[in-house]
Structure 1
Amino acid sequence: MSTEKRLYQYALTSKKTIIIALILLSVSVAAALTGPFIAKTIIDEHISSIDEAWYQTESGSQAVSYYGTYYTRAGNLPESEQTGEPIYVQQNGLDFYVTSDSLPDGEKRYQDGTLQVSNADGTFEAQADALSADQVMAFYQPEIRPILMLLGLYLALILGSSFFQYGQRYLLQKSANRIIQRIRTDAFNHLSSLPVRFFDHLPAGKIVSRVTNDTEAIRELYMTVLANFFSSAIYIIGVYIALFLLDVRLGLITLVLLPILFIWMKLYRKFSVGYNRNIRSKVSEINAAMNENIQGMPIIQAFNREKQLNGEFEKLNKEHYGFQTKMLRLNSLTSHNLTGVLRNLVFVALIVVVMGSVGGGWASFLTLGIIYAFVDYVNRLFEPVNQIVNQLANLEQARVSGDRVFELMDKEGTSVDDSTMERPKGEVLFDNVSFAYKEDEYVLNHLSFKANPGETVALVGHTGSGKSSIMNLLFRFYDCQKGDILIDGVSTKDLSPQAIREHMGIVLQEPYLFTGTIASNIAMENPKVSREEIEKAVDLVGGTELFSYLPNGLDEEVQEKGNTLSSGQRQLISFARALVANPAILVLDEATSSIDTETEGLIQKGMESLKSGRTTFIIAHRLSTIQDADQILVLNRGEIVEQGNHDELMKQNGSYAQMYRLQKNEAS
């Protein structure tokens, strides 16, 4: 499915709000576009119309007294009452005259009581009386009230348009925030379902960039870009309707703009999509570099690598700047300059048409009000055109960002399964298991062993021997290519990963703590875990005294990754976390390797409680910590080379015995 369709589907989740906003927008546009029609009416029917025929009538609200006789303009009289010889008010610059004959348009001159008009058809003249300022105002007096009423209507429409404009902006932006909230939630939820191998190959900074920066660009699409496109499209449609109502032929002249705008947008997209894709990619790379450098700042400074990394970052920054500059050039070429040229071309076409009035063409019927309204509407037409042009760059950025976010969401994941399973007894069987992270590069080869319920199985071996891979398979972070893994006789492939992990616990060499308190980290925000259970778990792992020295005890705030706590405190929290989960199968992955001897002594006291009634797997380099294990598996290149308990392996005098003696000598 294309990015556009998926963005459209997300928009449909707020369709009611958007429809209401578009209705308000339509009302607002209709109210705003009534203004030029009101101006046209004022000009043609109440200002310019003073030169109509005036007929002698009785006194009244529309009548004007001229030398003791009342006259009413033809526009204010029914045809049946338009009798007798009319008089005419002629304007020449700022001067006004009354004549008994109607004169055509042309160059006017007044001399000795005669008004002459010259045009292409000849010279015309009529007897005329000059009007004083008071007399001119008297002739305009009947028009003041309707003009004020129309201006009041115009003011009311402006206020109404502003109110509806506010409503549509609020609703569109509200729906945009709601839509982007759904996209971010879906993206984050999908990340939780992705296999661990996905995160092995993509830096965290790039993933964060897609969920934050790219979704923010999509938010701009819904909040600003589409809002402007919707309002501009409706505004343009409204302007064209008004232009055709004003004069069909003038409306047809402006239709030429539509294909020009369409071609313009197609060409812009052709060139901009590549630039925007590169820009978003570089932003992602910059975020990844920033994340990596911040995480590793102690190592960077310890090895004096600041200048080298500054150079690498500057290279990324320079590449990003280069693409931004290319995008800026494109936007500069296709922004206000082009819209200004198009507007001027329309006005040139209008001038050419109006010049046709000299020859008596259809343009001769254009009134001053129509020309004013047309110019006003054309100016209004280019306001939304400018808005569309200004948002083209943001539109393409949002499209590219949408591609990146949906590309992430299209990665095949495992849906979170709410199914549950009974607490297993803890029997674990690896049956001829072979596993490879990369195709045909096996790290485990035909591995077979069995852990009985409640047993402690220790895994030892050199780095890369396959110890952690066994744990990854047990937790179903990965699935083996050959063989099978069974828990209580049931293949793990027939069980959902979530159901399996509900009964498993793990303690890592480097425990990961989340922002919150010590207590919330132990409970992992599980509301089912009570305070008493947390305190009991801490006591069992020997941490009560150690945490009592903190000002707030178990309610002490934990900063990012627990950097304010010692390594021993962090590991104790990890042990208590595993104990609170009450797992049937427990994995201790180098759990005591980063702890000092005193803290290890505290933990060892609670280890028996932690392992009691559980099948426990221990990955250890300190062989002194696994002497009481029921089974010890010695691994080498993904194969079990020795197997037995401590005494049995020491009697074999093989690899295990050699490693044990070496460590014992080092300790002594």
Structure 2
Amino acid sequence: MAEASAKKKIFDFALLRRVFQIAAPYKKKIYLSIFLAILLAIFSPIRPYLIQLTVNKYIKNGLLQMIVDITIIQMVLLLIETGIRFYFSFITAWLGQSVVKDLRVKVYDKILGLNLSQFDKTPIGTLTTRTINDIESINDIFSDGLIPIIGDLLSILSILIVMFWVDWKLALISLSPFPFIIVATYFFKESVNKSFIMVRNAVAALNAFVQEHLTGMAIVQAFAAEEREFTKFKKINREHRNANIKAIFAYSVFFPVVEIILAVSTGLLVWWAATQAMNLSADQALALTGKMISFILYLNLLFRPLRVIADKFNVLQMGMVASERVFKVLDNQDYIKTQGNYAPAQTKGKVDFDKVWFSYVDDKYVLKNIDFNIQPGETVALVGHTGSGKTSIISLLNRLYSIQKGEIKIDDVNINDYSVEALRSKIGIVLQDVFLFSGSVMDNITLRNKDIPYQKVEEAARLIGVHDFIMQLPGGYDYNVMERGSTLSMGQRQLISFIRALLYEPSILVLDEATSSIDTESEQLIQHAIDTLITGRTAIVIAHRLSTIRKADKIIVLDKGEIKEMGTHDELLNLGGFYAKLHSLQFEKQKAAPVQIR
């Protein structure tokens, strides 16, 4: 399929036109590069013709000064041509890199705005490849693809025109092996194209394997699976090597074939000239010698672009395939619709779910007719088995996904009427699995927002009792937490996320209970932080341990995406229903002392 697509897309002029539309801001550079390509095509046959002229006229007449003048002219032309060729190469490379820069910004901006469902369906490695590798391949369309191919074809055309103009018979004789190089070029292009696809697939497999296993190295070592995984790596690496060797083999065959055909063309040229010279006068023989010398130069100039044009076609082909993949990301319509522009300075924190239905895939609903309301300042707990829909509810509140039916309101205003930025700035989220970026503690708290002063961060940290813990770290707020916060414990990562949530002073706080898998000391710190955070705010707590939600104003019991019960802790226990069974089941297995939200 990939191969068929590659063959098809090189002739997809609509796709090629779209690629050049991205380069529209640089159209002057495009026109300049095409103009330079035409200049190079004109310059190509001039020097061989001047050599022929020198041999035919000035050597015959012994005009030494004219020979010197022609030589100087050739040197000047050579310098000019070299300068033009350098500038042409620089302009096309600059153009490619400029397009890559702009396109990468567009793609990343698009990825930032995609609905979270796209990240559920698309491997992260795929989007990484689109943003980096595939866009880099589009650069080759400009630097090594279409414009250089146009330049090479123009040079070939101009040389052929001059050869037939000088002596059409000599041109036909010397170009008689030309069909063989066309056939060789075709087979080379096809072979290298297949090899390129194999190499790209092998690289993708190798990158995916290494990335996944470096991330999961702790699991590999913990289960003594090093040897088994190393064997898998060697197999993938061997496939990568074999794919590259096939590409190298095609080059190793093609270039010698081109040299042989060039040698045959030169031999035919010399043979024909030798047979003709026997019947010519001295002046005619000298003229023929001049033609023969110029034609040998013409052939070398002709075969030089032919050696690389097939390779450039493959580069263009791969760039077109890459551009198609990138445009699929840009054309993705599953993005966060930002039609709302309501952005109040403050919100009270009232939350209403009105008969909400939601599914991640088609009509397989994970939330069914969810209907509840939360008054400002209330603490509401969501409980239920894994997969009951707790996390989906908080994701919908934050507009990470779009609902299929019903309505969600904050302060009696539909969340779709809010601007996304304004909505999310009013909702603070602390997840159980805290993600920290590589960088300092300060960077992770402020998310590199330079507008947030150090004093405000320290004030928030002191408010929830975390400042002393941070100052105990080497470097304090400048301590590097490394990738994913690997140098911090789970409890420490949670505490940093609390500061992050408090810093933006949200009116609604969402807590994915964080005290279920940490030590007692950290649990006490986190419980204090929770108490501080929820004071005066609407709080939605996802409860994994029922002992932590006794003081919640309302408990919503979920099962298979539906609300089964709703009420206070005591009310639900007295009801003797679903919650009472969950409570009884959990406390039979758990004897730990309860930690309450106060």
TM-score range, shorter chain: 0.7 to 0.9
The change in CA–CA distance for 1:269 and 1:155 in structure 2 (over 3 A counts) is closer
Q: Which residue of 2 aligns with 1:631?
A: 554
**Distance in 2 between residues matched to 1:226 and 1:367, nearest whole Å:** 38
More helix per residue:
2
User: Which whole-Å deviations, capped at 9, do the CAs of 1:173-193 have from their partners, x for residues lacking one?
Assistant: 111111111222222222212
* TM-score of the two chains, using structure 1 as the length reference: 0.77
What stretches of structure 2 of length at least 5 have no aligned partner?
A: 1-11
Distance across 2 between alignment mates of 1:590 and 1:209: 35
Letter of the aligned partner of 1:581 in structure 2?
A: Y
Q: Where does 1:59-74 land on structure 2 (aligned, <5 Å)?
A: none
Separation (CA, whole Å) in 2 of partners of 1:342 and 1:425 = 82
Report Cα offsets for 1:596-620 as digits up to 9, x if no partner.
3222322333323322343221112
> Does the Cα contact within 8 Å between 1:633 and 1:643 map onto a contact in 2?
yes
Shift in CA distance, 265/201, structure 1 to aligned 2, threshold 3 Å: farther
Alignment of 1:564-583 (within 5 A): 564-583=487-506
Contact 1:444-1:466 within 8 A present in 2 as well? yes
Counterpart for residue 389 of structure 2: 466
For the Cα contact (< 8 Å) 2:189–2:311, is it kept in 1? no
User: Comparing both structures, which one devotes a greater share of its residues to strand?
Assistant: 1
| Aligned equivalents of 1:259, 1:404: Cα separation in 2 | 36
Alpha-carbon distance between aligned partners in 2 of 1:11 and 1:283, rounded to the nearest angstrom: 28
Q: Deviations over 1:332-386 (max 9, x none)?
A: 45x21442354345446645764467678xx989532122112211111111111
Amino acid at match of 1:336: F
- Residue by residue, what CA displacement relative to the aligned partner does 1:561-617 show, whole Å, maximum 9, x if unpaired? 122223222211111111112223221113333443222322333323322343221
Which residue does 2:326 correspond to in 1? Answer: 405
Displacement of 1:458 after TM fit? Answer: 1.0
- Relative distance call for 1:253 and 1:38 in structure 2 (3 A) is same
1:169 aligns with 2:95: no
Structure 1 counterpart of 2:8: none
Indicate conservation of the 8 Å contact 1:547/1:553, yes or no: yes
Q: Distance in 2 between matches of 1:375 and 1:663?
A: 92
CA gap 1:253/1:627 in 2 versus in 1, 3 angstroms: farther
Counterparts of 2:441 and 2:412, CA distance in 1: 38
Query: Closer, same or farther in 2 for the Cα pair 1:303/1:240, shift >3 Å?
Result: same
Q: Distance in 2 between matches of 1:449 and 1:347?
A: 88
SS in 1 for 2:591: helix
- Alpha-carbon distance in 2 for matches of 1:3, 1:304: 49
Alignment of 1:232-631 (within 5 A): 232-248=152-168, 250=170, 273-333=193-253, 335-344=254-263, 346-347=265-266, 350=269, 354=273, 355=275, 367-414=288-335, 417=338, 419-422=341-344, 423-495=346-418, 497-631=420-554
Question: Greater shift after overlay, 603-612 or 33-42?
Answer: 603-612
**Structure 1 range deviating more: 322-331 or 12-21:** 322-331
Does the aligned pair in 1 maintain the 2:189–2:310 contact within 8 Å?
no
- SS of aligned partner of 2:515: coil
**1:486-545 Cα shifts (integer Å, max 9, x gaps):** 223333345554443232221111211123322222111223322222111111221111
Q: Which has the higher mean CA deviation after the structures are superposed, 491-500 or 445-454?
A: 491-500
Structure having the higher Rg:
1
Task: Report the residue type matching 2:513 in the other structure.
Answer: E
Q: Which moved more, 1:299-308 or 1:420-429?
A: 420-429
Higher relative contact order (CA 8 A, sep 6+): 2
**Corresponding residue number in structure 2 for 1:186:** 106
Deviates more, 1:250-259 or 1:504-513: 250-259
- Measured in 1, the distance between the counterparts of 2:238 and 2:368 equals 47
What is the total number of aligned residue pairs between the two structures?
A: 574
Over the matched positions of the two proteins, sequence identity in percent amounts to 34
- Separation in 2, partners of 1:165, 1:188: 34
> How far did 1:288 drift?
2.1
The CA deviation at 1:273 is: 4.7
Structure 1 contact 218–401 (Cα < 8 Å) conserved: yes
Task: Report the Cα offset of residue 172 of structure 1.
Answer: 1.8
Cα displacement string for residues 68-97 of structure 1 (whole angstroms, at most 9, x for unaligned residues)? xxxxxxxxxxxxxxxxxxxxxxxxxxxxxx
Instruction: Output the aligned Cα RMSD.
Output: 3.2
Q: Which residue of 2 aligns with 1:39?
A: 51
CA distance in 1 between counterparts of 2:321 and 2:261 reads 29
Deviation at 1:555, TM superposition (A): 2.3
**How far apart, in 1, do the equivalents of 2:81 and 2:446 lie?**
55
1:214 aligned residue? 134
Q: For 1:17, give the aligned amino acid.
A: K
Tell me the distance in 2 between the aligned counterparts of 1:497 and 1:424. Answer: 14
| Counterpart contact for 2:463–2:532, Cα < 8 Å | yes
For the structure 1 residues 191 and 256, does the alpha-carbon distance in structure 2 shift closer, same or farther, using more than 3 Å as the test?
A: farther
Instruction: Say if 1:359 and 1:8 are closer, same or farther in 2 by CA, change over 3 A.
Output: farther
What is the CA–CA distance in structure 2 between the aligned matches of 1:543 and 1:378, rounded to whole Å? Answer: 78
Native 8 Å contact 1:631 1:645 kept in 2: yes
Q: Which runs of 5+ in 1 are unaligned?
A: 51-139
Residues 32-111 of structure 1 aligned to structure 2 (within 5 Å): 33-47=45-59, 49-50=60-61
Contact kept, 8 Å, 1:273 with 1:400, in 2: the verdict is no
Could you give the per-residue CA deviations for residues 378-415 of structure 1, whole angstroms, max 9, x where no partner exists? 11111111121343443333333333333333333316
